Structures are given as C-alpha cells and as structure tokens.
Structure 1
Amino acid sequence: MKKLLTISILALLSACGSKKSESTEQKNILENLTYTVDTLVVDPGEEIIDLSGGLRLSNLSDDKSKLYLFTQKEHQIAIVNLDQLELEEFLPFEVEGPNGIGQYVGTMQKLDGEKFMFSSFQTSGIYDRNGVKIEDLKLKPTDFEGVDIEGDGPMNYKLMQSANGKWLFSLPGDFMEGSRDLAVLDPANSSGKILDIPAMDKASEFRIILQSTEMMSIYVEDVNLQEFDGQVFISTSVTSDIYRYDYKQDSLQLFTFPHQLVPPAKTGAIKNKVSSEDEWRSEMEKASSQIGFEKLLWDDSSNRFFRFGRKLLPKENDEAPTKAEVYLFAYDANLKLIGEKFLEDVDQIPSYPFFKDGKLYSYVNVEDELGFAVFTFNF
C-alpha cells in the first residue's frame, strides 16, 4: 500500500533587507518567497531499501519519473517509481570478476537504455541492466592522444558521460593537494584534452590533513561536475564561481556573481596540515562557519537554476544535530543571478535535492524508509 504523509507548513519569510546591486535593476525574485512542504514516503513492499548512504549514488530518469539508487552494501540498484511512490525492482551487480564493478563505487550514472556507468578505484565501465559489462573504460592519460598530465592513474574522479554518449568528462588532479583540471575525453577516437579551471583551485586552499601516530584523515572541499542541456557545469563549495563548458562549441566560460547577502567565496588562511584532533576541529570550524555553496539545481518548469548556500553553526556538544544558516539563490538559464534569500526558518540544507514537476524534492529518512520533503515555492 502506498504511504503518504502530509505536513502543511506555510513559512512567510521576511524581505531580504539588503540593498539592490547598483550595477543592475533586476528584481530579486526571491524577495517575497513563501512555500509549503509535504512529506511523501515510498512503499518498498516486502523489500528493504538500504539508506545508509542516502542518495549519494543516485540518478533520475530524463522525465524524472524514476529514481535509480545504488546501494553500496548490497551492490544493487533500487528502481523507485516517483509518480507511484513505489519500489519497482532491484538490479544486482557483481563486485569482482569480468563483470565486477569494484568494492567501493565512486560514481554511478544512469545512461540511455537503462545502461549504467560505474567508476571505482579498481575499474570503470558501462553495464547493462542485467549486470553485464558491455564496455571497459580505460582512462589512463597514456590511452588518450592529446592528454598530457602527470601520473598514470586513471582519470575517473567524478567521471561522467555526456548526454549524447560521445564524451567523457572527469576531474583529474592531485588529491592530496586538492587541485583539479577538466578532462574532456573522446573514447571512440582515443583522444582528449585537459582544460585548466583555475577558479576551482581555491578548493585546494581549504584542504585539511590530520596526520599523527594514531591516525590520518584528509578533508578536501568538493568540486562538482553536472550536465544540463548539453553543457557541463563545474562548481565547488568554496566559491560561488561556476564554469560552463559547451562541448558542442568547445567553449569554456567562467561566471561570477554579485551576491549581496553572502561573500562570493570563503576567505582566510587554513592550516593545511595538523597533528591533533583539536587542531582538526578548529580548522574545520574556520572553513565550515563560512559560506559554502551547493550544487546547481535545474527546474524545467521555470527554466531557472537554483542553488543553496550554508554556514554551519557551532554545535553545543558532539551529540547535537548539525544546524546552519541557509540561503537560496536563483539564476536565469544563462546563469544571471536573479534572486537570493536568507531562509531564516530553515536550519538544515535540503538533502540530495532535485526538481520534479516544478517542486523541490529533498531526501528524508522516515523511520528507515525512503521519503521526500516536497517544497512548493511561491514567488
């Protein structure tokens, strides 16, 4: 039986209270934002969907009717019907052997025809819905003419295939240093190139390495790859800057934004190497208490981009839930900033959000079952 929980919450948010940019007369479309929230729960039938990883390894179908969620423990994909709120089936995959996807999957992408691309430290490949590997992806720099980077490790970090199936994109670089480049690869012709994306190098300034006699931990700010309508977008949590790469025109463009409510990027010096947990926590707080930017979200209904920002608040104790100041930004289809808002009644960033039918879906765990908080915005 399908489950439906409804929570009607009308939040009247105050006006921004900031001056309009003197360089533009564009109205802030989020100034008088209101919204309601409903909570929906997926019926798994007699099955159990492993939610230990949230929706980290998930994709949507092109029409947003299905969610494909890879669960790391069982090494299977749960296909969820978002229109009917039901689990349809599981697709199992092997860990080792000729059809193995590897023990620890880094990225999963749903391709046309219910094919799937998996990438891990051990292997990268394309598989059919029956778990059979139909293409082994060799991603060493020496396999591609025109690619000249240091090292011989596979270029599989944030691996992504273009919507037309011709190109592969990834973010090779030095993990310890946190620096990244954009790899544009043409597997059919064994060729490619490396594009410099210097605005993303700011992420490397906020890496923190804890190394002591007892342990070693590494924190690196994320750099993200996304595709919308035949264009690739590169962003990072450290800065609001965004690159857009049009692979049809082979053009790379950097966008910066005149934010009024938040700084455009994190600032200040972070101690990159520490030797104690106290130092680790101190440096992490320096970074997390500043503005951080989430991934882009595309809304087909309004033809707009949205993006959340957050500043984490200090915890009262280790057991206390993480809370944050949360901001919402809006952009037109050409990435012009057209709205920004401090969401004073929200204290957590929506989890793995996406737009469907003009509404924002955010993952929630409802008594260990897959659920979504669904936001209906009124501008």
Structure 2
Amino acid sequence: MQEKVHDRCQSAELYRFRNWKYFVFLVPFFLSFSCQERSTEQGSQVIEYSVDTVYIDSQDRILDLRGNLMHLTLDDERKSFFLLNHFDLSIDEIDLDRHVFVKTYPLEPEGPNGVGDYIYSLQSMNDSLFFTKSIIGSSLFDNDGHIIERMVWEDPRDSNGLKLTQFYRGKELVSGTDDLKVFGVNFDSKNGKVYLDVLSVRENTVKTFDVDPENSYHDFILRWDDNVAPPEVHLGSDKNYVRISHEFSNEIMLYNPEGEFVKIVQYEPQKTPKRAKTPSGPEIKSRVQAGKEYQRILEQVRFESPVWDSVKKRYLRLSARRTFKDTYIDDSFLPEIKEEMVFLSIFDAEFNLISEIEIDELNNERVKYFAKDGKLWVCQNFSDELGFLVFDL
C-alpha cells in the first residue's frame, strides 16, 4: 500500500560481508511542513518528509553550475560549501546557513603553485586546506593557493618493492593528517579491471585492492568499433569510511581512513533490482546497438554514491529507473526520456537498509547531494541560479 499526500505552496526562503538485517517499526512524525508534504507507507513503516526550496544569493558572482554541480565539497561543519569555478579557475565559497556567496579563492594554472588548467575533483579538508585532482596531478594547498604537498604516483612501491602499474586514475581523495593517504580509483579499461590504490605519502608505498569482485565494472563495459563506454565507479568518503560503489550494482566496499579493507555491504532493495542484467546477445557492432544496450540497463537501475548524515547517524543513497520514448533528438545516443523514477534508500550507521521511498520531486539522480542538519540537500540549477531542494525526512 502506498499513499501520497500533496500540499504544494511557494517557499518564502531565498535563499559484504552481507548485511541483510532489517528494522521494521512504526515511525510517527509530527512536523510542521512549510512547502510540500509526502507520506509513504511501506508495510508497517510510515515515512513522511517535507520539501523546501532554497536559493543562493550569488552577490552578482557568476557561479559555475555546469556538470550537475559535481565539483563541490563541504567543510566538516556543513556550514559552507566550496564550488569549483572554471570560468576563472577559482574556488567559490557559499555560506549554507545564510544562503549567500561569501568569497572566492583564486588558483594558478601554472608555476610553483600551478594546479593545471582543469580540475576534475575538489575536496575540502581541515585547517583551511583543499585537495584537487587535475590534468597535471594531485595537490594539497591552502586557501591562499599555496601548494603544501604534491601527490606523486610514479615513484611509490608496493609491498613487494615493485613499482605501481600505471593506468588511468580518474578519481582521488585524501585522508589523514600525520600520514596522508591518497585513495585513487585505477582503471584498466582494456582488460575490464578496476582497482583502488592507497598511497601513503610518508612511506612512499602503495596498496592495491580489487574493487570489482563481482564484475560490476567489467560486465557493463560497452565496446564497439574503437569506442569504449565503461560504467562509473563512485569514490566517496566520510569520517567513518572510504567507500567504493558501482553504477549498475548496489554493493558498497568500505575501507577505513587508514586504507584498510573493512567489509562489503550488500542489500535487497524493493524499489529496484539490486543489479542490472548485463548486456547479452550478439557482439556490439555499432553505436546504435550500444545505445540500445545502455538504454536497457538504465531502464533497470542506476545507483549513486551514498552520503553520511552525521546528525541522524544514517546513510542516504539515491537510485533511479527510467523509461524512454521512441523518439531521438538529433543524433543522440539515447532516445528521449519518458519518465525517471528516483528513489531514496536509507541505511543505519552499519549500512543495514531501513527503508526506501520514491522522491517525486526529483527527476534525476545524477546530481550532487549531501546531508546537512539531518536533512537531504540536493543541488539544483534554477535557470542559472544556484539552489537546493531540501528534504526533511
């Protein structure tokens, strides 16, 4: 049984080890809803949430809102977030409590403090430090743009004293203070392999972990002609874990901040399959056929990376299923989307699945989202204005 109650109004504000244990209980909520209200009943569990809209006052600063706002990071206190701005190669700081742009931190593309022309990822750290990965490498620098440490992957050795095999390392993050650990996802697309490398900056050594034990990367690589379209592998972190997760399968691999393997989480979702069916049939021989295979996968499930809610001690994860029309726009890879159903999975601190709900207000799970003040914040581009949909669960 599922019941949804709608009450729409305008916001006035501007601004593996396998864990299959479930908790079934009745959760009563008594909330004053300011904008929209939803009630979802799942068996004996009732979940309610409100939705509010927050707009950011940019103070006439032109913010870089491209790419679903994936290039942003939050401070530990969830008071500010920092957004990469490739228009002038800088970092823009937004005050999340006052909903306003407050400062920009210029970067240098070249020279002794050069970070490169284009930055792939940004991580905010303690003591006003930032970590970036760019086309010329990874760097730790202060908020004045001065390089504190450059991360070098070419020199370290593994436990046998051998140099690291170098593949494309698309994502990186750091942890630690006295001994910085750099976590990098290492892709060998030719052989369909993906690894997690953990670099100890102090020891100049690297540990490598296989992060595709169920072939969730290998089995979903689409190849045709000279083209390769690999699935995404998510890399995320919080104070508890460094997390690896996959785009089309729901397992989550957990490592501690020191770079040691902890466990693999698997669970049985009710709203989507736990894993998409891998492409089958004849070998892919054309772009059109590859698009059809990719469409079939997206019609089943796509998972995003979990985020940690430090206030309510839980993890939140978006996933989605899509349906498509028969029409294409120009020479697009996929037909037009008919409907996208976005779901939110809620876990406890040990990654036991608590509940799942459909979020009608979202039409895309490929967005930057995070938890702040016990609520889910989802970044939005409102006609070139930065804003958020804020879900109080």
| Same fold, judged at TM 0.5 (above) | yes
User: Which residue in the other structure is 1:362 paired with?
Assistant: 378
Instruction: Tell whether 2:108 aligns with 1:98.
Output: no
Question: How far does the alpha carbon of each residue in 1:269-315 deviate from its partner, in whole angstroms, 9 at most, with x for none?
Answer: 25797453322321210221111211112112211112122112213
Work out whether residues 64 and 84 of structure 2, in 8 Å CA contact, stay in contact via their aligned partners in 1.
no
User: Which residue in the other structure is 1:20 paired with?
Assistant: none
1:242 is aligned with what amino acid? I
Q: 1:339 aligns with which of 355, 359, 363?
A: 355
Structure 2: distance between partners of 1:341 and 1:93: 41
Structure 1 pair 249–71 and aligned structure 2 pair: CA distance change class (3 A): closer
Structure 2: distance between partners of 1:234 and 1:32: 30
Gaps of 5+ in 2: 1-11, 16-32, 330-335
Question: How far does the alpha carbon of each residue in 1:155-204 deviate from its partner, in whole angstroms, 9 at most, with x for none?
Answer: 74311111446311111130344421121221111112112223363122
What is the Cα deviation at residue 207 of structure 1? 1.6
Q: 2:171 aligns with which of 158, 169, 173?
A: 158
User: Which residue in the other structure is 2:278 paired with?
Assistant: 268
Structure 1: distance between partners of 2:106 and 2:384: 21
Equivalent residues in 2 for 1:1-379, closer than 5 Å: 4=14, 8-13=35-40, 15-16=41-42, 31-140=45-154, 142-146=155-159, 151-152=165-166, 156-164=169-177, 166=179, 167-199=181-213, 201-211=215-225, 216=227, 218-248=228-258, 250-270=260-280, 274-315=284-325, 317-318=327-328, 320=336, 323-343=339-359, 347-349=363-365, 351-377=367-393
Per mean C-alpha deviation after superposition, the further-off stretch among 105-114 and 289-298 is: 105-114
Structure 1: distance between partners of 2:285 and 2:324: 22
Work out whether residues 310 and 349 of structure 1, in 8 Å CA contact, stay in contact via their aligned partners in 2.
yes
Structure 2: distance between partners of 1:174 and 1:127: 29
Structure 2: distance between partners of 1:149 and 1:292: 36
Structure 1: distance between partners of 2:82 and 2:175: 18
Structure 2: distance between partners of 1:124 and 1:99: 12
3-state SS of the aligned residue for 2:68?
Answer: coil
Structure 1 pair 105–211 and aligned structure 2 pair: CA distance change class (3 A): farther
3-state SS of the aligned residue for 1:54?
Answer: helix
After TM superposition, the score normalised by the length of structure 1 is 0.85
After TM superposition, the score normalised by the length of structure 2 is 0.82
Structure 2: distance between partners of 1:136 and 1:271: 47
Question: How far does the alpha carbon of each residue in 1:124-164 deviate from its partner, in whole angstroms, 9 at most, with x for none?
Answer: 21122122222221112x423427576345x7431111144
Over aligned residues, Cα RMSD in angstroms?
2.8
Structure 1 pair 34–247 and aligned structure 2 pair: CA distance change class (3 A): closer
Structure 2: distance between partners of 1:121 and 1:262: 37
Structure 2: distance between partners of 1:74 and 1:101: 13
3-state SS of the aligned residue for 2:87?
Answer: coil
Q: Percent identity?
A: 24
Structure 1: distance between partners of 2:338 and 2:365: 10
Gaps of 5+ in 1: 18-26
Work out whether residues 84 and 92 of structure 2, in 8 Å CA contact, stay in contact via their aligned partners in 1.
yes
Aligned residues between the structures? 357
Work out whether residues 230 and 248 of structure 1, in 8 Å CA contact, stay in contact via their aligned partners in 2.
no
Structure 1: distance between partners of 2:98 and 2:337: 32
Work out whether residues 208 and 273 of structure 1, in 8 Å CA contact, stay in contact via their aligned partners in 2.
no
What is the Cα deviation at residue 234 of structure 1? 1.3
Work out whether residues 162 and 230 of structure 1, in 8 Å CA contact, stay in contact via their aligned partners in 2.
no
Structure 1 pair 260–51 and aligned structure 2 pair: CA distance change class (3 A): closer
1:12 is aligned with what amino acid? S
3-state SS of the aligned residue for 1:33?
Answer: strand
Work out whether residues 163 and 230 of structure 1, in 8 Å CA contact, stay in contact via their aligned partners in 2.
no
Structure 2: distance between partners of 1:272 and 1:225: 32
What is the Cα deviation at residue 86 of structure 1? 0.8
3-state SS of the aligned residue for 1:143?
Answer: coil
What is the Cα deviation at residue 3 of structure 1? 6.5
Structure 2: distance between partners of 1:322 and 1:97: 49
Work out whether residues 206 and 272 of structure 1, in 8 Å CA contact, stay in contact via their aligned partners in 2.
no
Structure 1 pair 149–171 and aligned structure 2 pair: CA distance change class (3 A): farther
Structure 1: distance between partners of 2:270 and 2:383: 39
1:116 is aligned with what amino acid? F
Work out whether residues 177 and 207 of structure 1, in 8 Å CA contact, stay in contact via their aligned partners in 2.
no
Work out whether residues 200 and 235 of structure 1, in 8 Å CA contact, stay in contact via their aligned partners in 2.
no
